[in-house]
A and B are shown apart, each in its own frame.
Chain A
Amino acid sequence: MPNSILYRIASGDKTAVQDCLKTYGGLVWALAKRMLPNQNDAEDAVQDIFIDVWKNAERFDEERSSETTFIAMLARRRLIDRLRKSNRQPNFDSLEDVTFEPSKRTDLDIHISIEAKEAAEAVRDLRPEQQQVLFLSICQGLTHQEIADLTKMPIGTVKTHARRGLIEIREALLKSSGASDEIKEVSA
């Protein structure tokens, strides 16, 4: 899409860099704050993430994902790296906070709102324990050992719930975008 911000960055349009900050600054900042409670860490991570985004803009493929998802993916990679290098503690008070209930807020960016709604619909079909493990892993960045300690589940069970949950959601999202493995295989 010629108007895609990442496409413009990849093609050398320098003004697109500012558009990128404007459009996705809030998203990246929110992701960083959620995973890195320390403000300085979060700020450093945001800088790393945007440099990654600018340098990897040419890898963006609108056929495979939206800009929002692509940037959120790069952000998550960076945040997980930072998180695992630090000895942080989970930043929620209790497991009651662990929920995938869709936000009632209406002031989210419309791009994010659409992406999140799609994912929430896929998550809703999972078993509660799968949802819980996935939330702790993806949104909080906990290791399987940390999740096992927190939930009192055996570590093997944690791994199974997480991987099965993610496999199912991936398949649901691919199907909704018309690009599931099954479709690929049939058309190949």
Chain B
Amino acid sequence: MEKDKERMLELLADRTLFGLTEAEAAELENLKKIFPEFENDDSFEMAAAQINLINLEMDDSLPPHLQTKLAAQAEKVFGITPEAREFSSFENNQAAELPQDVFARSIDEFAPKSSIWNWKWLGLAAAATACIALAISLWLASSQPKPEIADEPKVVQTPESVKSPELAQIPESVKTPEPVGSPESVKTPEVEKTPESAQIPKTVITPENFKTPESAKNPDSVKIPAPAKTPTPELSAVQRREQLLASAPDVVQTNWTAVKGDKRVLGDVVWSNAQQKGYIRLRDLPALDASRETYQLWIFDDKTPVSGGIFNVGKTGEVIIPINAQSKIKNPKQFAVSKEKAGGVVVTKPDRIVAVAKI
């Protein structure tokens, strides 16, 4: 039995490496009847694929003309409409280098004309509806007492964060103002003054200025502020972090380490996997020019990095940021902060990581 299994493993290895003769293939089929758990085994091919990644030189991205061909292939396989392509997150990569007429040509070749016109009319109708809605909103806003949040959207930021040029530069178009009464809108400087905050200036980054790349790109994230509600006492980010630490039995806390030895990053990560909730606290992270760069948080679910949102920091001070994982985290192994171009990225690279916190 053991010999049979050994022989089967050899044949599976040979098949992956060199291919099998007909006689060997028949022998493998017979052995699979004894070991049915190997019927659909592709672990040898997976191992070979992983070995194939060692030393891989990734100097070039896909050539533009090849991207165009692949886009055309995708249209054939999936019947992708131009609109689907427009909404795809291609702006950060090579496809942005494609001449517009190339893209337009391939669209015309492969998308049904009637479909294009239907979508165009639909798009125009949607735009017109949006304009009318906006006009009505503006008229209503100017003719009625303004809700506090609509009048002064930056009220959601703490005094410290308003002073921060980086945060002030975040385009208003990507902010999603919360209704008055949200946790951030009722924050007061007194609430933030924990023992740590008394010693160092603090910027609490709220969900409004802590954006995911997707929400930053999505025009739908621009919402008309809801009518004002009676403010209800809510906890600050500092208090919510403390509450998570105190209440979640599975909560883990780990410290940040700078990736480059000559720089110092202080702070920690608090995470509860059961609640899928957590906060990062950072100090001494250099401020960035928010019009060009941003920090991005990553949660490594086993080996897979999942974006946890983008953020910027003030020139001095400490930030506390709620973690906004883009998908359910099953097995968090480590957290990382990378420095990216403004708007964030879908995939980062090791040399952009500035700090890590291992669990």
Interface residues of A (CB under 8 A from B): 1-3, 14-15, 17-19, 21-23, 25-31, 33-34, 43, 46-47, 50-51, 54-55, 64-70, 72-73, 75-77, 84, 99-103, 105-116, 118-120, 123, 134, 137-139, 143-144, 159, 162-163, 166-167, 169-170, 173-174, 184
Ranked nearest first, the 6 interchain pairs of A and B with the lowest CB-CB distance are A18-B88, A73-B49, A3-B327, A72-B49, A163-B13, A106-B351
Measured between alpha carbons, how far is A55 from B305 in the docked complex, in Å? 25
Contacting pair B74 A27 (CB below 8 A): no
> Known contacts A46-B66, A47-B73; can you find 4 more A-B pairs with CB under 8 A?
A22-B346, A30-B56, A119-B53, A170-B43
Decide if A72 touches B18 in the complex (CB within 8 Å): no
Inter-subunit contact A17/B54 (CB<8 Å): no
Contact present for A29 and B327 (CB under 8 Å): no
B233 to A: closest C-beta gap in Å: 35
Known: A47-B69, A162-B13, A163-B13. A72 touches B50 (CB 8 A): yes
Question: Which residues on A sit within 8 Å (CB–CB) of B353?
Answer: 110
Q: List 22 A-B contacts (CB under 8 A).
A: A18-B85, A18-B88, A18-B90, A21-B62, A25-B67, A30-B56, A30-B58, A50-B74, A70-B46, A73-B46, A73-B49, A76-B48, A99-B55, A103-B57, A106-B351, A107-B349, A109-B58, A109-B347, A139-B51, A139-B55, A166-B16, A173-B43
Given contacts A143-B18, A166-B48, A173-B50, contact A111 B90 (CB under 8 A): no
- Residue B180 interfacial (CB < 8 Å): no
- Within B246-275, the residues touching A (CB, 8 Å) are none
Chain A residues with CB under 8 Å of B30's CB are none
A55 with B351: in contact, given A23-B346, A76-B45 (CB under 8 Å)?
no
Number of interface residues of B (CB under 8 A): 68
Taking CB atoms and an 8 Å cut-off, the chain B residues in 57-112 that contact chain A are: 57-63, 66-67, 69-71, 73-74, 77-81, 84-85, 87-90, 92-95
Answer whether A21 and B43 are a contact pair too, CB < 8 Å, given A3-B306, A110-B350, A119-B50.
no
Contacts of B226 in A (CB 8 A): none
Is the Cβ of A19 less than 8 Å from the Cβ of B346?
yes
Residues on B facing A (Cβ under 8 Å): 9-10, 13-14, 16-19, 37, 42-63, 66-67, 69-71, 73-74, 77-81, 84-85, 87-90, 92-95, 301, 303-306, 326-328, 346-351, 353
Which residues does chain B contribute within 8 Å of A30, judged by CB atoms? 56-60
List B contacts of A68 (CB < 8 A).
53
**Among B44, B84, B304, which residue has its beta carbon within 8 angstroms of that of A111?**
B304
Q: Which of A31, A69, A144 contacts B46 (CB 8 A)?
A: A69
- State the Cβ distance, B334 to closest chain A Cβ, in Å: 11
Smallest beta-carbon distance B18→chain A, Å: 5
CA distance A174 to B71 in the complex (A): 36
Report yes or no: A120 in contact with B78, Cβ–Cβ below 8 A: no
Contact B49 A76 (CB under 8 A): yes
> Does A1 lie within 8 Å of B17, measured CB to CB?
no
CB <8 Å contact, B55 and A103 = yes
* Nearest Cβ on chain A to B109's Cβ, whole angstroms: 16
Min distance, Cβ A181 to any Cβ of chain B, angstroms: 8
